[in-house]
Amino acid sequence: MKFRLLLSFMLFFPLLIPAQTASKPTVADAEQFMNQAEARLNEIVVKASRTGWVQENFITDDTEALAADANDQLTAVTTDLVEQSRKFDGLSMAPELARKFGLLKLALTAPAPHDPALRKEMTQIAVSLDGEYGKGKYCRTPEDCLDITAIEKIMGENRDPKQLQDVWVGWHKVGAPMRQRYARFVELSNQGAREMGFRDVGAMWRAGYDMPPEQFSAELDRLWLQVRPLYLSLHTFVRARLAQHYGAGVVPPDGPIPADLLGNPWAQEWGNIFPLLGLPEKSRGYDLTQLLQAKNLDAKGMVRYGENFYKSLGFAPLPPAFWERSLFTKPRDRDVVCHASAWDVDNKDDLRIKMCIQVRDVDFVTIHHELGHNFYQRAYKQQPLLFENGANDGFHEAIGDTIALAVTPEYLQKIGLLDKLPSADSDIPLLLKQALDKVAFLPFGLSIDQWRWRVFSGEVTPADYNKAWWELRLKYQGVAPPVTRSEADFDPGAKYHVAGNVPYMRYFLADILEFQFYRAMCQASGYTGPLNRCTFYQSKEAGAKLNKMLEMGASKPWPDALETLTGQRQMDASAILDYFAPLKKWLDEQNKGLKAGW
């Protein structure tokens, strides 16, 4: 959890900001306002994060009520602070101070109306949607109920198309009851955004990237056009192989891929279907899940591997409280929000992760990702409160994934998980497995907020929520629902980030940035071989360069932070194209004679 998210879960403290005189505000007034605001907000953040932790780890009516009340009070305070800060609009001040005022206005992901009754209504809706997702289950019988962890396991391993369709439909029922409340939430948060001076919530979110919202949208289009040819090659190959496996009656050879056949409840990452793609058994040279299970690891043992990678780069070990207070496995006696997240509870050293860890390859990668948040949080802890965040939210998501890219066979051998390095002819299977997650995710990561921005702007009305959702999924991903959907459904609500109101474009940006960061760290480590074979494990030089960027937090515009690590000032997808270049060539050979697109 990072500052902008935590503002949804804070307690109320009176903010004793001195009243301004009738004279024109001065820079000294602005500095005094900001210093006192940050001091008070720091107190609130610590108490708020504890409230949020309890609510997500002990989902009951009582904890939801407490979180809703805290959220309401915090939103009121933050909204009032933003309103007070507007008296300094137009005042010439130092760039650092001006940046703080800008970040304050972007602090809430769900700005609320000034009216106390409407604000309370909105915050109650927000907490109820989050809790409803966390408690969501598909009950095939009264005695056979599947939570999202069980759903993910079935959809990752089962190959019966009828059973996959049944589980997919069952899970997506979790969204339908949210539909009307979500529409009301959009209405109320849009009112709050307009009262703050933004056109709508989507415009407010896009304003958080050190450029006008329209320019940011253009940047996304540029990045997508860079990577789209690679995605089309992957999509064409996967569709053809699935059609061979399931038959053309299940997977149309020239149409979209049914969303329930891609190994994941949301069709966002496809790595689980690798065994169906026709490559020889064990062609990757090893199975990371089997290697991990052979070590008889428990959840903490999995996390130790992740911590040790960061330590090898020169970072200090995680504090003892991390091991005492994190949630590593799903409790047997209660509902929790199993969606993995990283927490910085006290803005100092009370770092935690919350995961329902299984001993498998995907969780091994996720652990590296979540610890990236924690090490980033600790690196910028000396910054003022409003700078205690990533350079942009894509940076925060990219750090751990950058480390995970370095989980190569060479790394696995160095840490004793792999005895013998696979031969060079295993590169294509390894790259294909990674592309099924990294490349396949790109259009999904792009489409979620494209849908929400249209919803917030009013371009998509509640009457067309589900229709617009699947139109965008088709446009970008080339996937379609396995059964006919209607406006009685609300399939966006079956995705945590929609129910929890977590902006999603950060994940698309992270998928681009992680390769850009990775290439720079490989260069810093002195590596000169093929990019996909690089690991910078144990490179203090790469770690020092990374830490220099992490320590900046949000204190400078993100191009400054990007330049510190990479030497570039523009997000650039060429690194992901370099990384997967051997695979792209191979895919295009396999796809000869096949129709690309849908």
SS3 state of residue 243: helix
**What's the token pair of residue 5?**
């998210």
Instruction: Point out the catalytic residue in the list 376, 497, 520, 554.
Output: 497
Q: Which has the closest alpha carbon to 231: 523, 462, 437, 489?
A: 437
Instruction: Point out the catalytic residue in the list 397, 524, 554, 573.
Output: 397
Instruction: Point out the catalytic residue in the list 193, 373, 406, 435.
Output: 373
Q: Which has the closest alpha carbon to 112: 137, 81, 138, 145?
A: 81
SS3 state of residue 405: helix
Long-range contacts of 34-40 (CB under 8 A, 24+ apart): 34/97, 34/100, 34/101, 34/104, 34/386, 37/81, 37/85, 37/104, 38/100, 38/384, 38/385, 38/386, 40/13, 40/15, 40/16
Instruction: Point out the catalytic residue in the list 172, 235, 339, 368.
Output: 339
Alpha-carbon span 365 to 517, nearest angstrom: 17
Q: For this structure, is 368 an active site residue?
A: no
Where do we find the tokens 């990752």? 156
Q: For this structure, is 398 an active site residue?
A: no
Where do we find the tokens 């927490």? 343
Q: For this structure, is 373 an active site residue?
A: yes
Q: For this structure, is 114 an active site residue?
A: no
Instruction: Point out the catalytic residue in the list 76, 98, 150, 340.
Output: 340
Instruction: Point out the catalytic residue in the list 209, 507, 518, 537.
Output: 507
**What's the token pair of residue 475?**
């446009």
Q: For this structure, is 152 an active site residue?
A: no
Strand extents, DSSP E, 98-203 = 138-141, 144-146
Q: Which has the closest alpha carbon to 350: 310, 389, 384, 377?
A: 377
Q: Is 485 exposed, middle or buried (0-12, 13-18, 19+ CB in 10 A)?
A: middle
**What's the token pair of residue 444?**
């999904």
Q: Yes or no: say if 168 and 155 are a contact pair by the CB < 8 Å rule.
A: yes
SS3 state of residue 5: helix
Q: Which has the closest alpha carbon to 525: 374, 402, 373?
A: 402
Residue environment code for 422-442, b if the CB has 16+ CB neighbours within 10 A, otherwise e: beeebbbbbbbbbbbbbbbbb
CA angle 354, 576, 566 (to 5 degrees): 80
**What's the token pair of residue 240?**
């053809």
Query: Is the alpha carbon torsion for 510, 511, 513, 514 positive or negative?
Result: positive
Element (H, E) at 125: helix 116-135
Query: Is the alpha carbon torsion for 118, 120, 121, 125 positive or negative?
Result: positive
Instruction: Point out the catalytic residue in the list 172, 368, 369, 396.
Output: 369
What do you get for the CA distance between the two ends of the chain, in Å? 38
117: number of Cβ within 10 Å: 8
Instruction: Point out the catalytic residue in the list 132, 307, 370, 514.
Output: 370
Q: Which has the closest alpha carbon to 388: 40, 11, 45, 33?
A: 45
Alpha-carbon span 548 to 535, nearest angstrom: 20
Q: For this structure, is 380 an active site residue?
A: no
Phi-psi sector, 286: left (phi>0), alpha (psi -120 to 50), beta: beta
The set of catalytic residues is: 339-340, 369-370, 373, 397, 497, 507
